Every structure is written in C-alpha cells, then in structure tokens.
C-alpha cells in the first residue's frame, strides 16, 4: 500500500483509493483513464452533472471581479440574490438565510438559532428529537445530532447534549399497511411519554444515508400536528433531500410540513464550492429582531463571493422542468432495476425521486454483512459505476445510488446492467 501524507475523510489513516483525473457530464475518469458512471453524483451534490457551464462562467467572472470581501464590512450582490432566491424556493414563511460552508455547519447554526430563539422568548429549551439512523453531519454538534449505531462516535466525547431519539419510521419485512399502522401507534405512544421533553424536531424528511426511508404520510401528519400544537420548532434537514433529489423541490413538501428552519447544502452550487445555508422563518427571526440580538455565528469563509456566485447560478437551474425530468428519470430507474427484484439476495428496492437503495440479504435472509456489501460495491466500481453503502447492523444493508439528474436513458440502462452483472458475479445463485 502506497503511504501518502493525506488523511482522507471517514478513513483509516493509510487508506488508499484510486486517483481521480477529470470529470465530464455524468462520468468521472481516474488517472489510469478508466471511466465511471457517477451513480453517486459526487457526494450527492453534482446533481446537474460535471462541467456545468453556467456555474463555471459565473465563478470565472466573480474570481476576476471580487474573489473575497470581508463579510463584516460589505454585502455582495450574489449573496443578496441567492438569499432572496432561496427564500422564494423554500417557502413564503422564510425571512432570513444564514450562509455556511457545509451541511454540518448549517445543522450546527440551526441548532444554535433554535436554542437562542427559546432563550430570547424566555422559554426553557429541552431537547431536540432526531430520527434513529439519521445523519446530520460530522462536526461536534451535527455529529451529536446524528443518531446511528456503531462505534464511529466512540472516544470523541463529551458530545453535545440535548438530543432524544425517535425510532426510525420503518419496519423491515412487515406489509406496508401493517407497518404504517404500527409506526403510527408507536409514534403516538412515544409522544405521550417523551413529547414534553421535546423543544425541537430535527429530521431528514426522507432518511438518506440510513437507507432511503420514506416515513409514512400518516406518521408525518401526527408528528406535524403535535409539533404545531405544542410550539415545537421543526427543523428540516434538506441537505440530502433538497433541490429535487426526492422528486419535489424539497423533501418536506411531500408531507405538507411548514418548517421553522431548513438546512441546505450539497446541490446548492452543484459541487463547485463548499457552501451551505439555513433558512429561518419569520417567527424564529422575530425575537432576534425585536431584541436587537446578534446571531453569534461566523467563519471567515462564510459568504465567499465566488461560492455565492456559483450558488446563484446553480439555484436558477432548479426549475419545474428539472423536477419533471427527475420524476421521469426516477420511473425509468425503477423499470431498469425491476429485474433485480427477482434475485433472492435482494430484499427490497426503495426509490424516492433519485434516491435509490438496493437492500440486500445473505443466504439466511438477514441483512448482508458489511464486508460482503463493501465487496459488492467494489465489484460495481470495477464494472464502471460509482455507488455507496448504507449498513445498519441487523436492520438493513444497501447499495445506494444518488444518480445525476442529467443521466440519459442509455446511461441509466447501462448502469442498471452493470449492477445486475456485479450482483451475479458475487451471488451466482441469485
């Protein structure tokens, strides 16, 4: 193994991977010239494909004109316009946008705003409820909010306190109606016991890294009504779901939620620059305005003009037409992956917009062990497709695809064929 000085994210210190060389459209090429269909859209952010000319041009102009300006001294037109645009896109309730550099930072800023709002209102802040198996980031606050099992968080403590766990809105194996009924009953009971410990709810409307879990509509209705009746802040983490990924512009729109805060990142500038945001509604801004209270959140890198120009250029491309394309593409993926459902090792295929989880089982029908899942993902890569994993011990074990919105039918067909071939290579009995 070649040792480099680079310590890569979420990796052992000497982990080695192929060197990337260039990317174009929906393809990434490594240094040996091998082509990969990017079934992961970068890291769920290069939604519109590589080399997006509009974003590239906007960045070039901005680099020449004003690559940086102190955000404490000056405003800047792209940031102003991007904030306007985001509020229009997210909901008429939105009043302010706080720009960050990443999704993790956006989640942390949202937690700070929620706590401070309660403080300014003279209300005691209790806990933030988070879904089990959800992911909200890797900084201290966002890592503390992330609620998945495993050893990853061990040894970093003390973590931020004040989170309580709401079960994953999912039942493996149960028939759909039965699962929905059980989940609704469990939620009502959970609210009866824990509801009053909760000051805010932080959710991924569709759980992404946790295996593409779409909560049942009835479940979300109960949760929404409870939060609204008890003045519990709803924070929707749209970092993965936002900008069309689930087939609606934002995941919360599927459930008729009216979030108080919305966190965003990933597709915000199609992966060109690190950027994130928190949209804050009128009611949450109110006490800050009335009490002339500053928001204590700053990084030198926030509001970088090049990132803002890139964001504005990308945001303008998230239109009704692109949503229609996502929905159509989603149906085509479903059709192309359908044959996999006949394999005994495939327990389920969950598709929500362009979030796809192929849920796998071993010979006993249990979730595929992690080492075999990673082996399969390696084979899929060898067969020219980049994909990811979602593994929750004893619950689910999935190949994840978050394909680009711009993939055409032939590319989708080829990708599905490569996955089928890879499954057959590892499970000849499938």
DSSP type of residue 18: P
Figure out which of the listed residues 104, 133, 199, 248 binds ligand PLP, where binding follows CB under 6 A: 104
Residues near 114 by beta carbon (within 8 Å), at least 6 away in sequence = 125, 128, 199, 200, 233, 235, 260, 261, 284
Min dist. Cβ of residue 208 to ligand PLP (A): 5
- Cβ neighbors of 66 (< 8 A, separation 6 or more) are 76, 305
At residue 359, what are phi and psi to the nearest 5 degrees? -90, 125
CB 275, min distance to ligand PLP, A: 9
Q: Which residue's Cβ lies closest to ligand PLP? A: 103
d(Cα 352, Cα 335) in Å, to the nearest integer?
Answer: 13
Among 37, 135, 333, 427, binds ligand PLP (CB under 6 A): 135
Residue 271 binds to ligand PLP (criterion: CB under 6 A): no
Q: Which of 102, 147, 270, 397 binds ligand PLP (CB under 6 A)?
A: 102
Interface residue with ligand PLP, options 71, 141, 208, 403 (CB under 6 A): 208
- Of 123-131, 135-143, 163-171, 375-383, the window that binds ligand PLP (rule: CB under 6 A) is 135-143
327, two tokens:
């929905």
Q: Does 103 bind ligand PLP (CB under 6 A)?
A: yes
Q: What is the DSSP letter of 258?
A: -
CA separation, residue 98 to residues 23, 83, 270 (Å): 31, 8, 19
Closest by CA to 337, choosing from 358, 320, 317, is 358
* Closer residue to ligand PLP in complex, CB, 210/367: 210
Q: How far is the CB of 310 from ligand PLP (least distance, A)?
A: 15
For 191, 236, 259, 290, 352, the CA distances from 255, given in Å and listed in that order, are: 19, 11, 11, 32, 14
User: In whole angstroms, what is the distance from residue 35 CA to residue 94 CA?
Assistant: 42
- In contact, 41 and 28? CB cutoff 8 Å: no
Binders of ligand PLP in range 147-166 (CB under 6 A): none
* Interacting positions 29-48 with ligand PLP (CB under 6 A): none
- In whole angstroms, the minimum distance from the beta carbon of 277 to ligand PLP comes to 11
Q: Which string of x and - marks every residue 222-251 that binds ligand PLP (by CB under 6 A)?
A: ---------------x-xx-----------
287 class by beta-carbon count within 10 Å (0-12 exposed, 13-18 middle, 19+ buried): middle
Q: Which CB atom, from 102 or from 329, has the smaller least distance to ligand PLP?
A: 102
- Nearest approach, Cβ of 321 to ligand PLP (angstroms)? 25
- Interacting residues with ligand PLP between 105 and 134 (CB under 6 A): 107
The answer to whether residue 137 forms part of the interface with ligand PLP (CB under 6 A) is yes
Stretch that binds ligand PLP, among 96-104, 183-191, 376-384, 407-415 (CB under 6 A): 96-104
- Our finding on whether 390 is near ligand PLP (CB under 6 A) is no
CA distance 295 to 277: 14
Shortest Å, Cβ 183 to ligand PLP: 20
Q: How many binding residues for ligand PLP (CB under 6 A)?
A: 14
Applying CB under 6 A, does 265 fall inside the site for ligand PLP? yes
Tokens representing 169?
């809105």
Nearest approach in angstroms of CB 242 to ligand PLP is 9
For residue 416, count CB atoms less than 10 angstroms from its CB and return exposed for 0-12, middle for 13-18, buried for 19 or more.
Answer: buried
Query: Of 255 and 427, which CB lies nearer to ligand PLP in the complex structure?
Result: 255
Q: How far is the CB of 265 from ligand PLP (least distance, A)?
A: 4
Of the listed pieces 54-62, 204-212, 214-222, 281-289, which binds ligand PLP according to CB under 6 A?
204-212
- Which of 204, 262, 313, 351 contacts ligand PLP by CB under 6 A? 204
Q: How far is the CB of 239 from ligand PLP (least distance, A)?
A: 4
Instruction: Give dist(CA 193, CA 178) in Å, integer.
Output: 23
The two counts, helices (H) then strands (E), for the chain are: 12, 15
Nearer to ligand PLP, 7 or 74 (CB): 7
**Would you list the DSSP string of 6-55?**
---TTS-TT---PPEEEEEBTEEEETT--EEEETTHHHHT-TT-BT-HHH
Cα(192)–Cα(63) distance, integer angstroms:
55
Nearer to ligand PLP, 235 or 416 (CB): 235
Asked if residue 80 lies in contact with residue 113, where contact means CB atoms within 8 angstroms, the answer is: no
The residues near 64 (Cβ < 8 Å, ≥ 6 apart) are: none
Residues that bind ligand PLP (CB under 6 A): 102-104, 107, 135-137, 204, 208-209, 237, 239-240, 265
């Amino acid at each position: 193994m070649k040792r480099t000085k680079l310590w890569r994210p979420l990796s052992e210190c000497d982990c080695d991977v192929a060197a990337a060389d260039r990317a174009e459209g929906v393809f990434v090429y490594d240094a040996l010239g091998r082509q990969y269909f990017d079934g992961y859209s970068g890291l769920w952010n290069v939604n519109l494909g590589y080399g997006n000319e509009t974003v590239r041009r906007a960045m070039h102009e901005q680099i020449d004109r004003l690559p940086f300006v102190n955000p404490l001294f000056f405003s800047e037109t792209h940031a102003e316009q991007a904030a306007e645009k985001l509020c229009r896109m997210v909901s008429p309730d939105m009043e302010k946008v706080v720009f960050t550099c990443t999704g993790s930072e956006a989640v942390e800023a949202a937690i700070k705003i929620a706590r401070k709002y309660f403080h300014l209102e003279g209300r005691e802040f209790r806990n933030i409820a988070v879904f089990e198996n959800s992911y909200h980031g890797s900084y201290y606050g966002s890592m503390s909010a992330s609620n998945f099992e495993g050893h990853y968080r061990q040894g970093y403590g003390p973590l931020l306190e004040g989170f309580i766990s709401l079960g994953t809105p999912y039942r493996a194996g149960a028939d759909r109606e039965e699962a929905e009924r059980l989940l609704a009953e469990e939620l009502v009971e959970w609210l009866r016991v824990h509801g009053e410990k909760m000051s805010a709810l932080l959710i991924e409307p569709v759980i992404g890294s946790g295996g593409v879990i779409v909560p049942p509509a009835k479940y979300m209705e109960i949760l929404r009504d409870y939060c609204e009746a008890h003045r519990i802040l709803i924070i929707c983490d749209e970092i993965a779901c936002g900008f069309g990924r689930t087939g609606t512009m934002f995941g919360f729109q599927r459930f008729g939620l009216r979030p108080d805060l919305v966190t965003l990142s990933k597709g915000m500038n199609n992966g060109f620059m690190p950027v994130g945001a928190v949209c804050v509604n009128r009611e949450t801004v109110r006490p800050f305005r009335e009490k002339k209270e500053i928001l204590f959140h700053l990084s030198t890198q926030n509001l970088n003009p090049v990132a803002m120009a890139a964001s504005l250029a990308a945001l303008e491309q998230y239109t009704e037409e692109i949503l229609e394309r996502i929905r159509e593409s989603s149906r085509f993926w479903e059709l192309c992956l359908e044959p996999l459902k006949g394999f005994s090792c495939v327990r389920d295929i969950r598709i929500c917009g362009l979030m796809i989880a192929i849920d796998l089982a071993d010979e006993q029908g249990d979730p595929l062990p992690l080492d075999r899942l990673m082996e399969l993902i390696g084979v899929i890569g060898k067969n020219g497709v980049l994909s990811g994993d979602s593994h929750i011990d004893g619950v689910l074990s999935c190949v994840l695809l978050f394909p680009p919105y711009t993939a055409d039918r032939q590319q989708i067909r080829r990708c599905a064929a490569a996955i089928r071939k890879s499954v057959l290579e590892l499970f000849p009995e499938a």
